Amino acid sequence: MAGGGALKAERSKRGKASKRKKMKRVSYHLDMTPLVDITFLLLTFFMFTTTMATPQVMEMSIPPEVVDQVEVKESELLQLFVRDDNKIFYAIGNEDPQEIELNKIRAMSEVENLREGKRNRMITAVKPSNDADYGTIVNILDELNMAEILITAEITKEFDEDGNPKKRERRFTIAQMSEEELEKIKEL
């Protein structure tokens, strides 16, 4: 029982009353400068190494090589030609190509794709000349993509026989320009 007694004595020493009397609160300052140094170093490192603007992608699909010829009515084919000097021409079917500005393509595509009787049937083909700039082609595709927003919205408003919303079926593609077309465009 001696051990127990000793414990009791210690306890009384640690009691609150004695603590208040003897222990002095020491105010201390923690020097944070090295901490700040290191944090700033890491912060600047991460700030400079991160790439904020991550690149985006634009999805494209091209017709497969296996040619199962799809019959297309001429009046349902919208062609966009891009000449060597990056001038853009458009033609529906066999019409003579007309020049068009890049920023008008969106409106044109919307009108043509939603024209009565050709709704959801129009095929758009971009036919760039080999010497046109790649940037121009992507810009045209971008405009066509933007036009799709309205076209798809309009078409899905309609319903098929089963009462389901219609799907947008035909989009656009890229094709190579034929020799004749190249000649035709050159003269304009």
Partner 1 sequence: MPKVKKKRMGFVIDMTPLVDITFLLLTFFMFTAKFKSEAESEQKFSIERPKVTADTSKVPDKDLAIIKIAIDSLTSDTTYYYELLNEVDRAEVWKLTESVTEEMKDKAQLPVSLESLDDLVRNTRIIRSETVFAIDADKRLRFQYVWDAMDILRKNRATVFNYVTEKKGA
Q: Which residues are at the interface with partner 1 (CB under 8 A)? A: 29, 32-33, 35-36, 39-40, 42-43, 46-47, 49-51, 53-65, 82, 128-135, 137-139, 141-142, 145-146, 149, 174, 176
Q: How far is the CB of 26 from partner 1 (least distance, A)?
A: 15
Residue 144 to residue 170: CA distance in whole angstroms: 12
Residue 11 to residue 8: CA distance in whole angstroms: 5
Q: Which of 58, 94, 87, 71 shows the shortest CA–CA distance to 174?
A: 58
Q: How far is the CB of 105 from partner 1 (least distance, A)?
A: 13
CA 107 to chain centre: 21
3-state secondary structure of 92: strand
Q: How far is the CB of 146 from partner 1 (least distance, A)?
A: 5
Residue 1 to residue 144: CA distance in whole angstroms: 94
Question: By C-beta, is 37 or 99 nearer to partner 1?
Answer: 37
Question: By C-beta, is 45 or 159 nearer to partner 1?
Answer: 45
Per the listing, tokens 């003579």 go with 96
Question: By C-beta, is 78 or 137 nearer to partner 1?
Answer: 137
Question: By C-beta, is 130 or 164 nearer to partner 1?
Answer: 130
